[in-house]
Homo-oligomer: A and B are copies of this chain.
Amino acid sequence: MTWTRRHILSLEDFTIEEYNAVLQTAASFREVLSRRTKKVPALQGQVIANMFFEPSTRTRSSFELAAKRLSADILNFAPGTSSLTKGETILDTAKTYLAMGANIMTIRHQQAGVPQIIAQEMDRLDSGVSILNAGDGLHQHPSQALLDLFTLTSVLDRDNPRLELLSGKKIAIVGDILHSRVARSNIYSLTAAGADVHLCAPPTLLPKLFLDIVDGEASNKLFLHWELTPALEDADFVMTLRLQKERMSGNFIPSLREYHQRYGITRNRLKLCHPDVKVLHPGPVNRGVEITSDLMDDPELSLIPHQVTSGVAVRMALLYLIGSSN
């Protein structure tokens, strides 16, 4: 296929061809990353502005490393030492980077919709710049869901990861669904793949209206559970989500200990799942809350390090696909 999408803002309207293009491109970059010299000149001379208005270790470093391995030049925007403190609007900051020659902007912001607004402005100006949503509020985190997809499909066929491999698989997503942009993005990609997606959380963190996030055929693929057992039964994959400790003050859960007792993933509980089950977590992990420490460190059961490694390959793929079509 020829890649035509300029911005990657949400997975809501991603096509099967687009998912597969990302998976195949990421697989070829994974091969590059296994070489001693892990660099390709694909985006040499292009400028990628990393605009992270919200703190992040792993996503920022992952994008930065992906960009370096494509030989792009990188501008890191640090809001603390920036013109924002002088009252400049976010759009004006983005237009400044545009005028400096940025070709791609990766944007993380605590407010949902900021990457969309910047993308609209870039299009209105006919700038040719691509926007990559690196996480916006509670809305979307497409690169995370795509690296999860790459991780899952690579388990099933490492040489040829593709969307259809997940058809009919049961995938449980357990944890703070309500506040998770990772969950929202994954629901789109996994139901598009034809997987059965079972969401599980306490009722305060999983309102019924979540069933409306998808429609059409996909809505038959989405299930809600307030108890763990039915979610885990025969599951092929269990995706755990980070429980942000600041949620405690909102009375969403009674205590971390009680949360772990009812929803924490343990080696024992995994016996409910398919014998080949694997566990994922987007990180950073609260050890002993969402997942026990020994399970997280078990290379037979945990895909967590694979997710991080996949992140670099998938982000190289995304930057390459939108950067080459510019």
Contacts and interface: CB of A to CB of B under 8 A. Distances in A.
Interface of A: 33, 35-39, 44-47, 52, 55-58, 60-62, 64-65, 68-69, 73, 75, 77-78, 80-89, 92-93, 95-101, 242, 244-245, 283-287, 304-309, 311-312
Contacts of A45: 35-39
A99 B305 contact: yes
Given A65-B47, A305-B95, A312-B101, A57 B37 contact: no
A309 B95 CA distance: 11
A239 to B, nearest CB: 17
A70 B65 CA distance: 17
A85 B57 CA distance: 10
Given A38-B101, A57-B88, 5 more contacts: A55-B85, A65-B75, A65-B100, A65-B101, A83-B283
A58 B101 contact: no
20 contacts: A35-B45, A38-B73, A38-B101, A39-B73, A55-B81, A55-B85, A56-B81, A57-B77, A57-B81, A57-B84, A61-B97, A78-B81, A83-B284, A86-B244, A86-B284, A96-B308, A99-B304, A99-B308, A99-B309, A101-B312
Given A44-B39, A75-B65, A283-B88, A308 B82 contact: no
A11 B227 CA distance: 55
Nearest to A286: B87
Contact of A89 (B68, B69, B98, B287): B287
A211 B50 CA distance: 44
A51 to B, nearest CB: 10
A98 B96 CA distance: 32
A47 B57 contact: no
B87 A245 contact: yes
A34 to B, nearest CB: 10
Contacts of A245: 87
Contacts of A33: 101
Contact of A285 (B92, B286, B287, B308): B92
